[in-house]
């Protein structure tokens, strides 16, 4: 038996051609995301599709300023900080579309204690991961490249406010989507060391 080809086909691709992604394709990707498993039959996600240069710029500037402060605290040199922030800015600006996956508390349970409240949030976050995987697998199936970018999970409030999103939306996943730059060469996928990763309790 082997892993299905449609799963193998999804790779993280970090360079795109300038072609726009049609709205119908973006909508289909989000529909695919929305059939992911989620706790209590909820859909604790909101999806923001960013196509305009202006919105990309606001997001890149907001998250860039936030990251600059974090990197200064880490003690990096000013030159290195500017290099990293500029690279991240380019990543956002050169993606034809950015899909921002946000968490909401909509449909989730609330608990009076911190431990269960945190577990509930963890469930929502897990479901967002499942939804993003569906989205990216669907993108690949439609012939689009994508790459998940971690940035907003480090600064959800900044990402939200830079786009003037509702206060109860927490951006946690960012996916760049577009047609792959034909010149992009990805890393080969490493082999899967099943012996290390799996325990069968037969
Ligand atoms: C939560 C998460 C965050 C990620 N963040 C980044 C990122 O910030 N930049 C990036 O280039 N890739 C990012 N990736 C993509 C991984 O590097 C990539 O999935 C991994 O190297 C495996 O490669 P593949 O997706 O081509 O199979 C992220 C993946 C996940 C799941």
Per-residue pLDDT of the chain (202 residues; tens, 9 = 90+): 999 999 999 999 999 999 999 999 999 999 999 999 999 999 999 999 999 999 999 999 999 999 999 999 999 999 999 999 999 999 999 999 999 999 999 999 999 999 999 999 999 999 999 999 999 999 999 999 999 999 999 999 999 999 999 999 999 999 999 999 999 999 999 999 999 999 999 9
pLDDT at position 36? 98
Give pLDDT, residue 37: 97
Residue spans per domain, the chain: 5-178
- Residue 192: its pLDDT value, please? 97
pLDDT score, position 122: 97
pLDDT confidence of residue 101 = 98
- What residues flank ligand 1, with Cβ below 6 Å? 11-12, 14, 147-150, 186, 189
The residue nearest atom 31 of ligand 1, judged by CA position, is 148
Report the nearest atom of ligand 1 relative to the CA of 136.
25
> Candidates 149, 177, 180, 187: which one to mutate for ligand 1, based on the most atoms within 8 Å of Cβ?
149
Within 10 Å of residue 170's Cβ, how many Cβ atoms? Answer: 23
Residues 6+ apart with CB under 8 A from 32: 134, 135, 137, 138
CA dihedral sign of residues 90, 91, 95, 98: negative
Instruction: Check residue 139 and give its pLDDT.
Output: 98
Mutate-to-test residue for ligand 1 from 3, 6, 8, 12, highest number of ligand atoms within 8 A of CB: 12
Go through 172-185 and write b for each residue having 16 or more CB atoms within 10 A of its CB, e for each that does not: bbbbbbbbbeeeee
Q: What is the spatial distance between Cα 55 and Cα 150, in angstroms, rounded to a whole number?
A: 18
Six-digit token string for 109: 């349970």
Provide the CATH topology of domain 5-178.
Answer: NADH Oxidase (3.40.109)
């Amino acid at each position: 038996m082997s892993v299905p080809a449609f799963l193998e086909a999804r790779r993280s691709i970090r360079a795109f051609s300038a072609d726009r992604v049609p709205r119908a394709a973006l909508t289909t990707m989000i529909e695919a995301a929305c059939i992911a498993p989620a706790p209590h039959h909820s859909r604790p996600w909101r999806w923001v599709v960013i196509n305009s240069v202006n919105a990309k710029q606001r997001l890149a500037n907001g998250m860039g300023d936030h990251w600059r402060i974090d990197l200064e605290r880490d003690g990096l040199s000013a030159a290195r900080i500017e290099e990293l922030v500029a690279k991240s800015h380019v990543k956002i600006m050169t993606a034809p579309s950015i899909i921002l996956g946000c968490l909401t508390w909509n449909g989730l349970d609330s608990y009076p204690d911190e431990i269960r409240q945190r577990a509930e949030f963890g469930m929502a976050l897990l479901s967002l991961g499942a939804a993003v995987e569906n989205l990216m697998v669907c993108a690949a199936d439609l012939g689009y490249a994508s790459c998940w970018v971690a940035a907003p999970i480090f600064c959800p409030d900044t990402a939200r406010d830079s786009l003037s999103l509702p206060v109860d939306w927490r951006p946690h996943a960012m996916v760049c989507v577009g047609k792959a730059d034909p010149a992009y060469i990805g890393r080969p996928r490493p082999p899967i060391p099943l012996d290390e990763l799996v325990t069968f309790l037969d």
